Structure 1
Amino acid sequence: MALRATIYKAEIHVADNDRAYYGSHAVTVARHPSETDERLMVRLLAYALLVDGDEGLGFTRGLSETDEPDLWRLDLTGAIRQWIEVGLPDDRRILKACGRAQEVIVFAYGRGLEVWWAGVRGKVARAGNLKVYALPAEATRALAALAERGMTMNVNVTDRTAWVSSARGDVGVDVELLAGES
């Protein structure tokens, strides 16, 4: 019998001083059986860092569907405005996404981040619609400890640092821009 996705519900309160955006959002996310709490929380953080008053940002089927990103922003015609990946995608996936979307954003994290970036940097340099952000491994591991099936997250962003708090604790995540314009 195949394992089923676990449903997580989050109330995310965003105070993003860098973008002057303030809002609350109720989201439901399916966690694939092979997905870690760390990856789930990075997806939720990516949502909080990109959400705005514009409709269209949403979670996809993620790991269940190889032709979809982790999040995307669609316009009213269904065209992909933003393709958002979390983790360490390979250069072919990034370049394919750059051809399908107006903008591609990668939130890279994990133990092999520096090695991954050294390997893909030159290959994706020609992509003019790509932004790559690095999240420190210690911070994303600490984010994993905040995961709950029903949670309230407060995300305050100032000077490219996201301060995430919940009933389980607080974590500061420095969001470093590796490629693309800010």
Structure 2
Amino acid sequence: MAQKATVFKVQLQIADMDRHYYADHNLTLAQHPSENDERMMVRLLAFALNASESLHFTKGLSGETEQAELWDLALEGTINLWIEFGQSDEKWLRKACHKAKQVILFCYGGRVVPVWWKTNSAALARYDNLTVIDIPDTAVAAMATLVNRNMQLQCNISEGQIWLSDANQSVLIEPQILKQGS
């Protein structure tokens, strides 16, 4: 029998001074059995950095292969934002870039990211609507310490620095932009 996803409830308060976005979001995150806490928290961070009323999680790892794990859909079905995670291959990112107005790839994984980037940067340079962001391994590990089945988190974003906090600790995240899309 297949394992079921673990459900996490998140109350997320976002104060994004860079975008002038201030909101509270009540989220339900489903963690696929093959997904670790680090990856789930990178997904939550991606939500916080791009939050809007129309941004939402899809079925992700267990859903359709033609969907992003996190995306912003317009009412008429246009994909405004497609967000991917990990070290995606060029073919998959090309497909996403053709379907969406903007695509963001959140890389994580420490030492494998520079190797992946060196191999793929030339091919990915041609996609004007693609942004590639590396989340440092130390920050990813620190975010995983915040994991709880019921999380109450605050996310403060200013000048490219992100502070993700719960009642007991704060984590500083300083993403590195590998490629900036238009």
TM-score (norm 1): 0.95
In the alignment, is the contact (CA less than 8 A) between 2:129 and 2:181 conserved in 1? no
Task: Specify the alignment match of 1:93 in structure 2.
Answer: 92
Q: Judge which range, 71-80 or 163-172, deviates more.
A: 163-172
Q: List runs of 5+ in structure 2 lacking aligned partners.
A: none
1:35 maps to 2:25: no
SS at match of 2:141: helix
Q: 1:14-163 counterparts in 2 under 5 A?
A: 14-52=14-52, 55-65=53-63, 66-111=65-110, 112-163=112-163
Instruction: For residue 67 of structure 1, report the CA deviation from its aligned partner.
Output: 2.3
- 1:59 maps to amino acid: F
Q: What's the % identity of the aligned pairs?
A: 44
SS at match of 2:140: helix
Instruction: For residue 181 of structure 1, report the CA deviation from its aligned partner.
Output: 4.3
Question: How many residue pairs get matched?
Answer: 180
Instruction: For residue 167 of structure 1, report the CA deviation from its aligned partner.
Output: 3.2
Task: Specify the alignment match of 1:6 in structure 2.
Answer: 6
Instruction: For residue 168 of structure 1, report the CA deviation from its aligned partner.
Output: 4.7
In the alignment, is the contact (CA less than 8 A) between 1:160 and 1:176 conserved in 2? no
Using the alignment, how far apart are the partners of 1:40 and 1:60 within structure 2?
13
SS at match of 2:105: strand
Using the alignment, how far apart are the partners of 1:2 and 1:181 within structure 2?
39
Instruction: For residue 6 of structure 1, report the CA deviation from its aligned partner.
Output: 0.8
In the alignment, is the contact (CA less than 8 A) between 1:70 and 1:84 conserved in 2? yes
Q: Which string of whole-angstrom CA distances, capped at 9 and with x for unpartnered residues, describes residues 80-137 of structure 1?
A: 1110012111111111100111110111111211111111111111101111111101
In the alignment, is the contact (CA less than 8 A) between 1:145 and 1:168 conserved in 2? no
Instruction: For residue 46 of structure 1, report the CA deviation from its aligned partner.
Output: 0.5
SS at match of 2:43: helix
TM-score (norm 2): 0.95
Using the alignment, how far apart are the partners of 1:173 and 1:63 within structure 2?
25
SS at match of 2:122: helix
Q: Which string of whole-angstrom CA distances, capped at 9 and with x for unpartnered residues, describes residues 2-56 of structure 1?
A: 000111110110111111111111011111000000000010010000013xx32
